[in-house]
Amino acid sequence: MPAQPEIRVLGTPSELFHAAADQLINQAVVKNGKFSVALSGGSTPKSLYSLLAGEKRNSVPWDKVYFFFGDERHVPPDHPDSNYRMANEAMFSKVPVRPENIFRIHAEQDAEQAALDYEQSLRTFFSLKPSGFPRFDLIFLGMGPDGHCASLFPGSPALKENRRLVVANWVEKFKTDRITMTFPVLNHAACVIFLTSGADKATMLHEVLENDKADLPCQKVRPVNGRLIWMVDKAAASGLSR
């Protein structure tokens, strides 16, 4: 039975990103062995990544943290839209993380091939059996204005995927493929943290958290045997009734 979501409302964006950074650090420090984290893309987490590379740099156990991506745009790693490029500029390029600790989605190639390759890298890293799913220690997600997370967009084919770990997903509204982890991977995680900031997210956050008839992709993230934490700032939470 999935646990109830934990909702943490932080006063300001800065407090939100400090709380998120501390979650990663506290979980990584106590983990024996490798700590696996999947990063989200978009604009919100950039401040988190900068904070980890800056003020929190000396608290992160960089040698044991292994970085993955929940999704990627179908672009090369140096493209302005690349989630890898954003994380590299904000964090990786500024900290003593080893290249072998970073698992980039090779989205410069054919989207389906990129998905197959990434899926294989997960199977290898987590030593999975053929029908197994990886258990990430931590997955960060953002909430899109339409209620999507990762690149699991409303109405897109990947919403129904329950066998594959990573798929190419055609996103009609952008007329492009994305590469994304699937719900089974997200829901096998030990901890999923949604980071949501800003008044422009308030209406959708109310829908996701308080309208169980909404049928939104974010609502399908319910770790089967793990924690689900919504970390939101006051502006994003302004539409919540409780």
Residue numbers at the binding site for ligand 6PG (CB under 6 A): 40-44, 70-71, 83, 142-144, 148-151
The C-alpha atoms of residue 230 and residue 184 are separated, in whole angstroms, by 19
Distance between CA atoms of residues 88 and 25, nearest Å: 19
The answer to whether 233 touches 12, Cβ cutoff 8 Å, is yes
Residue 49, both tokens: 């990544």
Backbone angles phi, psi at 220, to 5 degrees: -90, 0
The minimum distance between CB 172 and ligand 6PG, in angstroms, equals 15
49, 39 in Cβ contact below 8 A?
yes
Min. distance of Cβ 49 from ligand 6PG in angstroms? Answer: 12
Please enumerate in sequence order all residues whose Cβ is within 8 A of that of 188, keeping only pairs 6 or more positions apart, or say none: 133, 134, 135, 136, 223, 224, 225, 226
Nearer to ligand 6PG, 150 or 167 (CB): 150
Residue 7: alpha-carbon gap to chain centroid: 17
Residue 225 Cβ, how far from ligand 6PG at the closest point, in Å? 23
13 or 70: whose CB is closer to ligand 6PG? 70
C-alpha 66/C-alpha 144 separation (Å) is 25
Nearer residue to ligand 6PG within complex by CB, 42 or 76: 42
- Which residue's CB is nearer to ligand 6PG, number 8 or number 34? 8
Which residue is nearest to ligand 6PG, using beta carbons?
142
CB of 85 to ligand 6PG, least distance (A): 12
CB of 180 to ligand 6PG, least distance (A): 8
Residue whose CB is less far from ligand 6PG, 36 or 44:
44
